[in-house]
């Protein structure tokens, strides 16, 4: 699958999520990622992060690269102590992508791909879809933070 097709299907997945069709969005993501190589799966992760970037920077009234993004929890606790592995991956991957830190996005992706649990990568991509779709929904509803 070429990059344009991947991008189109990522947008389709996020659009389905934003429309409230969560099960269809997850099926579209599963279909998209089935049989993909690791570099192609990394492209899917980056595609989801790019959509999140578009939503988050618009929501906050920023240009891409105009701020440093980090990971915090609402109660100030350490993210490692409170977030599930797929949530922590998603938050860190999107923050690193927003910061144009490709070394970190790649390291996070490799860590998930080499984890002993083969279900971790699909769980992480599903969580990224949910977070990205949530950002798009918040933006569409006039959300700002």
The mean pLDDT value for 19-23 works out to 95
> In the structure, what pLDDT confidence band is assigned to residue 76 with cuts at 50, 70 and 90?
confident
The mean pLDDT value for 99-115 works out to 95
Residue 96 lies in a domain: yes
pLDDT at 64 over 70: no
Residues 42-75 as b or e (16 or more Cβ within 10 Å = b): bbbbbbbbbbbbbbbbebeeeeeeeeebebeeee
Residue 82 belongs to domain spanning: 3-140
Look at residue 67 in the predicted model and tell me its pLDDT: 67
Residue 38 lies in a domain: yes
Look at residue 57 in the predicted model and tell me its pLDDT: 84
Residue 101 lies in a domain: yes
Q: What are phi and psi of 60, to 5 degrees?
A: -95, 0
Q: Which of 43, 55, 34 is nearest to 8 (CA)?
A: 43
Q: With pLDDT > 90 as the criterion, what percentage of the chain qualifies?
A: 66
Q: For 85-96, what is each residue's pLDDT tens digit?
A: 999 999 999 999
Give me the number of domains the chain comprises: 1
Residue 145 lies in a domain: no
Residue 13 lies in a domain: yes
Look at residue 75 in the predicted model and tell me its pLDDT: 81
Residue 87 lies in a domain: yes
Model-level pTM?
Answer: 0.87
Look at residue 72 in the predicted model and tell me its pLDDT: 75
Residue 46 lies in a domain: yes
């Amino acid at each position: 699958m070429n990059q344009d097709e991947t991008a189109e299907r990522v947008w389709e997945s996020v659009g389905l999520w934003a429309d409230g069709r969560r099960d269809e969005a997850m099926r579209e993501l599963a279909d998209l990622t089935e049989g993909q190589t690791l570099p192609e799966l990394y492209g899917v992760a980056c595609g989801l992060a790019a959509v999140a970037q578009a939503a988050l920077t618009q929501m906050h009234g920023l240009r891409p690269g105009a701020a440093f993004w980090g990971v915090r929890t609402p109660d100030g606790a350490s993210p490692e102590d409170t977030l599930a592995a797929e949530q922590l991956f998603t938050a860190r991957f999107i923050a690193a992508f927003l910061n144009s830190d490709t070394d970190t996005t790649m390291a996070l992706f490799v860590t998930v791909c080499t984890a002993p649990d083969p279900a971790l990568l699909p769980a992480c991509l599903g969580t990224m879809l949910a977070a990205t779709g949530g950002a798009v929904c918040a933006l569409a509803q006039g959300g700002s933070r």
